[in-house]
Structure 1
Amino acid sequence: MTQSTVQTKHILLIDDDAELSELLTEYLESENFKVTSCLDGASGLAKAFDDSFDLILLDVMMPILNGFEVLKALGGNHKTPILMLTAKGDDNDRILGLELGADDYLAKPFKHRELLARIKAILRRISIVKSQSTLAVNAPTKQLTINQVKVNQATREITCRERLLELTGTEYLVLVYMIENHSKIISKAEISEKVLQRKLSPYDRTVDVHVGNVRRKLLAIDPIDKMKTVRGAGYVFLQGEE
């Protein structure tokens, strides 16, 4: 496939570091991405509500609105995936970003190739969601219902006891993968490789936080816990009594 036939992905870059933004824009455009850059959180948030973007790169420390405030304003159920860029080494900041709806994080300073790899991994898993939706449209009678949770891949929606779950794209994929493998212990490494499209790194809490977010949203609708943590092994989505 030639470069001219590859669909250009549109990235929204929200970072107050003008020099870094210029360098990243130049680099990503050389890799066949289209980049729109915003130098503060407020203007970035205004553009973030536009569904035309394929991915958002969001810095944490910014004027007017910081990255966490942007995530809060988006509400944690946005459809565009978000990769947080943080200069802080505190794991609490990274975990907070994931809890507020970020799909992944990358600490500054980072190598451009590492950023590119993370971007491609996120876009691959979003592509998986879209391809599943296309297949589901062609086979509309297929339903996946386990323990009062129903997956509609045609609309990319999941309901619990007939109430819609407000999930980010990554949370949707995590839950679908766990439902498809219900009653089995799924390791964090497996979820990272199959869902996040990257190998699990030491001390990486990304999977834990995404699973925790999904569990919390399920419990908000149904107080009967459907997900079990198996210490040292992973997670299980319980089949229930159905």
Structure 2
Amino acid sequence: MNNILLIEHSLSDKSDLGQQLSEQGYSVHRVNNAFDALVYMETTQLEAILLDYSVPKMDSFWLLVTRKPSTAIIVLADSRCELERINALELGADDYLAKPINIRELQLRLNVLHRRLQAPMNDNFNHDISFDDTIYTIRFAEKSLVLTQTEYRLFKYLFDRQGEVITKQELQRRVLHKELGRFDRNLDMHISNTRRKLVKRNLPRELINTVRGQGYSFNF
């Protein structure tokens, strides 16, 4: 990996993490806001993005993330909170690390994400997806993906309505069979788990697309 974009809350002091990455041979570009981050994303060939979760007003950054599936994104946070981790993954992050950051672990995770995202995919794969309702298995691009019952039903529901934006409220009612509570993250957790399983099978996680502030959609 070469170019790393490091999005931090403050640029007033030399970043210890940025310095450590530079010492390991990475070219580190540091910014502290969404606008500058988007400029780098559009003008620089980035291998990975490291985002401090405390940086405010990053909505525009996450909107663009959905259109940049080849760039690995790791969220760096002070908290080991499970809900925060799920939220970061649901927004579009590929990984989550709690501080203090171990530079060796970070390097290994960057390498793993690089291999996953650079894994060759057949550009002419068959868009046909088959479903096995008895064992909750999806067959796609000559690969099988085994899901839990809830993950399978969510995937199939979105697939049947592909191209449409399905609200979280509808998915909660139709698939989970209950109303969506204000602090209910079960739906997001199931979607996040499904995306991780897609990545592990070298299938595109962007099949299930987040539509910010609205819900989810299925798109090839």
Shift of 1:42: 3.4
Match of 1:10 among 3, 19, 24: 3
Shift of 1:32: 1.9
Distance 2:89 2:12 in 1: 26
TM-score normalized with structure 2 length: 0.57
Distance 1:38 1:49, change over 3 A: same
Q: Does 1:120 align with 2:111?
A: yes
Counterpart secondary structure, 2:83: helix
Distance 1:126 1:143, change over 3 A: closer
Distance 1:144 1:111, change over 3 A: same
Query: Aligned pairs, how many?
Result: 160
Distance 1:216 1:120, change over 3 A: closer
Match of 1:144 among 126, 148, 165: 126
Match of 1:59 among 52, 61, 65: 52
User: Letter of the aligned partner of 1:147 in structure 2?
Assistant: I
Shift of 1:30: 2.2
Distance 1:55 1:210 in 2: 19
Shift of 1:106: 0.8
Match of 1:109 among 71, 85, 100: 100
Q: How does 1:64-75 map to 2 (within 5 A)?
A: 65-66=57-58, 69-75=59-65
For the 8 Å contact 2:130–2:139, the answer to whether it is kept is no
TM-score normalized with structure 1 length: 0.53
Counterpart secondary structure, 1:95: helix
Shift of 1:180: 3.4
Shift of 1:214: 5.6
Match of 2:78 among 84, 87, 103: 87
> Tell me, which stretches of 5 or more residues in structure 2 are unaligned?
132-137, 149-188, 198-204, 211-215
Number of the residue aligned with 2:33: 40
Distance 1:143 1:179 in 2: 5
Deviation by residue 1:108-157 (Cα, 9 ceiling, x = unmatched): 122111111111111121222xxx25xx57xxxx64343279xxxxxxxx
Q: Does 1:30 align with 2:11?
A: no
Distance 1:216 1:206, change over 3 A: closer
Counterpart secondary structure, 1:220: strand
Distance 1:77 1:177 in 2: 25
Deviation by residue 1:190-235 (Cα, 9 ceiling, x = unmatched): xxxxxxxxxxxxxx9996152597674498359xxxxxxxxxxxxx
The percentage of counterpart residues that share the same residue type is: 24
User: Letter of the aligned partner of 2:6 in structure 1?
Assistant: L
For the 8 Å contact 1:11–1:35, the answer to whether it is kept is yes
Shift of 1:41: 3.5
Q: Does 1:181 align with 2:159?
A: no
For the 8 Å contact 2:50–2:76, the answer to whether it is kept is yes
Distance 1:177 1:29 in 2: 43
Counterpart secondary structure, 2:18: helix
Deviation by residue 1:7-35 (Cα, 9 ceiling, x = unmatched): x5211111124488622222212222111
Distance 2:46 2:114 in 1: 11
Distance 1:38 1:210 in 2: 28
User: Letter of the aligned partner of 1:87 in structure 2?
Assistant: D
Match of 2:91 among 90, 100, 109: 100
For the 8 Å contact 1:11–1:57, the answer to whether it is kept is yes
